[in-house]
Amino acid sequence: MPSQNVQWFPGHMARARRLLGESLPLVDAVVELRDARAPESSRNPELVAMIGPKPRIVLLNKSDLADDGATRRWLAFLRPEAPALAVDCRSGRGLSRFASVVQEALRETIDRNAARGMAQKPLRLMVVGIPNVGKSSFINRLSGGARAQTADKPGVTRHNQWYPAGRVGDVPIELLDTPGVLWPKFEDPSVGEKLAFLGSVKDEVFDTETLALRLLEVLRAGYPARLAERYRLDPAPLPALPPWELLEAVARRRGMLLPGGTPDTHRAASMLLDELREGKLGKVTFDEVT
């Protein structure tokens, strides 16, 4: 099944890019959140050029939903370029190391401020990432309360906001929340699909059933046993089953039938995407280090 070529750049995205550029002079470093299930696809390819020489810290969020082995490989790949942590911002797992990573990344800034008699000057960090990657959950966790807006859909945060977020030794940390920013066009259509799987692109952009068929193909290739177990499918014919028949089989197994016994594939497609996003399909990763 061919991939859809997606262009996705609503007006508020262009405004968010401008805000990001205008705010960069105010910060000491950038904290980039990515989705651990798609560390490459959830990377904004324009970000490195946009932030220039600013120090950068990479957080692979939602790592509780990602394949553990793949996450380890991604951390090893990323760390020569920037400090990187695997975290789960909803539970706080992995965030206990964040202050020490900030200290490592901003050692020169901390020492320079101390030498100038400004040892208590806050370290200001900009939090960036594509929509629905968990920026607000990260800020809420570090600021000790539900301070930033959150929702299980892209495009909630619209305006820059600052939040206190703990300390590095005696030095306070402040976080700048920014709207999620996508780039003007997905050159690789599979990137758009993966982001749509995870909810980082609004569901209206893709046809639900088409997207679910692609997801079934990807899961069948990477996690066939998981797919068969979750939906009680016979694993033997799974490799040769056309995707549409596979979606019909899932609908039948879940009792999703229209009058006359026809499989309700639209309902099954929505369920499949919801279960992936909720972690009910187990730990999966769609990007591998190459």
Q: Decide if 201 contacts 259 (C-beta within 8 A).
A: no
Do both 149 and 212 map to the same domain?
no
List the structure tokens of 99.
């202050």
List the structure tokens of 76.
């090893």
Q: Is residue 194 part of a domain?
A: no
Residue 93's Cβ-side half-sphere holds a number of Cα atoms within 13 Å equal to 11
Question: What is the CB neighbour count within 10 angstroms for residue 130?
Answer: 26
pLDDT average, residue stretch 228-248: 94
Do both 162 and 97 map to the same domain?
yes
Question: How many structural domains is the chain composed of?
Answer: 2
Q: Is residue 190 part of a domain?
A: no
Residue 40: band (very low, low, confident or very high) from pLDDT cuts 50, 70, 90: very high
- Amino acid residing at 152: D
Residue 162: band (very low, low, confident or very high) from pLDDT cuts 50, 70, 90: confident
- Amino acid residing at 259: P
Do both 171 and 266 map to the same domain?
no
Do both 29 and 159 map to the same domain?
yes
Do both 131 and 266 map to the same domain?
no
The residue that leads in pLDDT, 223 or 147, is: 223
**Structural domain range at position 268:** 207-277
Do both 223 and 144 map to the same domain?
no
pLDDT average, residue stretch 149-168: 60
Average pLDDT over the chain reads: 86
Outline where DSSP puts E strands in 155-288. Answer: 161-168, 171-177
Q: Is residue 76 part of a domain?
A: yes
Q: Could you tell me the CATH number of the domain that includes residue 37? A: 3.40.50.300
Do both 220 and 159 map to the same domain?
no
Q: Could you tell me the CATH number of the domain that includes residue 251? A: 1.10.1580.10
Do both 26 and 121 map to the same domain?
yes
Q: Is residue 201 part of a domain?
A: no
- The pLDDT, as a whole number, for residue 227 is 95
- Amino acid residing at 274: D
Cα–Cα distances in angstroms (integers) from residue 152 to residues 200, 201, 203, 207, 251, in the given order:
9, 11, 12, 19, 25
Do both 56 and 145 map to the same domain?
yes
For residue 61, pLDDT over 70 is answered with yes
Do both 40 and 170 map to the same domain?
yes
pTM across the whole model = 0.85
